[in-house]
């Protein structure tokens, strides 16, 4: 037998032994390795304010938003059952927060800059949140 054929046979035999060893021992080695997992992201529901802390958040509209309609829906979350007054440049509206604390109301915008103030009242406590929105009748 020549040297090239003998070398090829030995290399093939060595590769075969490595593959066989991995097939026999590999599952046991993978059990010993630490398991790697991606972190799970769970979307938690928005927390409802506790009665001791009266808070109000404005979820819609976003701050510094540009609107092209005079009617604007203002919504957010506050303490359940609280009275919410939404004050705009043109008009005001009073609503009562639902049992989950969500509120919503429509106001009318004036052309240009509109400061929208949302005030939540419960018993003798009040809390205020403000957002600025711009109105232009031109289409964007």
86 CB-contact burial (10 Å; exposed 0-12 / middle 13-18 / buried 19+)? buried
Confidence of residue 135 (pLDDT cuts 50, 70, 90): confident
Domain boundaries, the chain: 1-36, 56-135
Tokens of 137: 């009748």
Q: Please state the pTM of the whole predicted model.
A: 0.59
Helices of type H across 33-129 = none
Query: Residue 115: is its pLDDT beyond 80?
Result: yes
Confidence of residue 76 (pLDDT cuts 50, 70, 90): very high
| Domain 56-135, second-level architecture | Sandwich (2.60)
Instruction: Among 13-27, 43-57, 111-125, name the one with the lowest average pLDDT.
Output: 43-57
Mean pLDDT within 122-133: 89
Mean pLDDT within 122-132: 89
């Amino acid at each position: 037998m020549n040297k090239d054929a003998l070398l090829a046979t030995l290399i093939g035999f060595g590769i075969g032994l490595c593959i066989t060893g991995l097939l026999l021992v590999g599952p046991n080695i993978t059990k010993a390795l630490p398991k790697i997992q991606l972190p799970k992201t769970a979307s938690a529901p928005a927390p409802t304010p506790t009665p001791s802390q009266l808070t109000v958040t404005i979820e819609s509209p976003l701050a510094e938003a540009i609107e092209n309609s005079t009617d604007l829906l203002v919504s957010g979350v506050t303490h359940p059952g609280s009275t919410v007054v939404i004050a705009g440049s043109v008009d005001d509206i009073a609503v009562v927060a639902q049992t989950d604390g969500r509120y919503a109301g429509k106001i009318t915008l004036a052309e240009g800059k509109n400061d929208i103030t949302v005030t939540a009242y419960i018993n003798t406590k009040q809390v205020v949140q403000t957002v600025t929105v711009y109105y232009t009748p031109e289409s964007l």
